[in-house]
Amino acid sequence: MASVTWTRIARRIRVPLGFAFTALYLWLAAPTASSMMIGSALIIPGLAIRALASGHVQKNEQLTTTGPYAYTRNPLYLGSLILAVGFAITARSWWIGAALVLLFLAIYLPVIRGEEAFLREHFSEFAEYARQVPRLLPRLSSVSCRRGTFSWDLYWKHREYNATLGAMTMMAVLTAKLLWIR
């Protein structure tokens, strides 16, 4: 029962907590030109994975097993994790890195488990899918020819462009901070 309660709380607080963390992040970040370039090498693929996943997922309508979902059950969270590591590298702060690990373990793992419980309950094929496809770290090959078709309509419906706009805004603020620090 406590786990179910925390899963609900984690689901509700993850977005507001993300905004609060962003303020702390910007305060603690000490970017350099090099850290921003290295971080961007992860931020961009993280955004791409999220965008690709968003263009395949049909939330609560059907079990999505195409596109990146043929390699990992949680490509949106994988993309977010890669994005977070990129921003941690950009920030050059062990405190930020430690906070990201804590947030992932305390917030995102329970949310992932809760979402998987929902999928298991609503889609009979989820058990077989979960047996074949890893939870987070992707297989290098898909379990079958589940390519599917990317849908721009789904991408826009899920407002995934907000992740790109947010990342661009963060990089602009970090660039300003970098130039201001000099």
Question: Residue 146: what pLDDT?
Answer: 61
Question: Residue 55: is its pLDDT beyond 70?
Answer: yes
- Amino acid sitting at position 10: A
Choice between 103 and 167, residue whose per-residue pLDDT is larger: 167
pLDDT digit string (tens) for 8-49? 777 788 778 888 888 889 889 999 999 999 999 999 999 999
Please name which of 86, 31, 80 lies closest in space to residue 54, comparing C-alpha atoms. Answer: 80
pTM for this entry: 0.87
Helix/strand/coil for 134: coil
DSSP H or E stretch at residue 142? none
- Using one digit for the tens of pLDDT, what is the confidence trace for 104-127? 888 888 889 999 999 999 999 999
Q: How many C-beta neighbours within 10 Å does residue 44 have?
A: 15
What local confidence, expressed as pLDDT, does residue 4 receive?
64
109-122 vs 2-28: helix axis angle to the nearest 10? 140
Confidence of residue 3 (pLDDT cuts 50, 70, 90): low
**CB-based contacts of 142, cutoff 8 Å, min separation 6:** 70, 71
Token pair, residue 87, equals 């921003």
Among 94, 85, 101, smallest CA distance to 43 is for 85
On whether the CB atoms of residues 68 and 56 are closer than 8 A, the answer is yes
Long-range contacts of 63-67 (CB under 8 A, 24+ apart): 63/119, 63/123, 63/125, 63/126, 63/129, 64/148, 65/129, 65/133, 65/146, 65/148, 66/146, 66/147, 66/148, 66/149, 67/146, 67/147, 67/148, 67/150
- The per-residue pLDDT for range 88-106, each reduced to its tens digit, is 999 999 889 898 888 888 8
Q: State residue 142's pLDDT score.
A: 66
> What would the pLDDT profile of 127-163 be if each residue is shown by its tens digit?
999 999 999 999 887 666 566 788 899 899 999 999 9
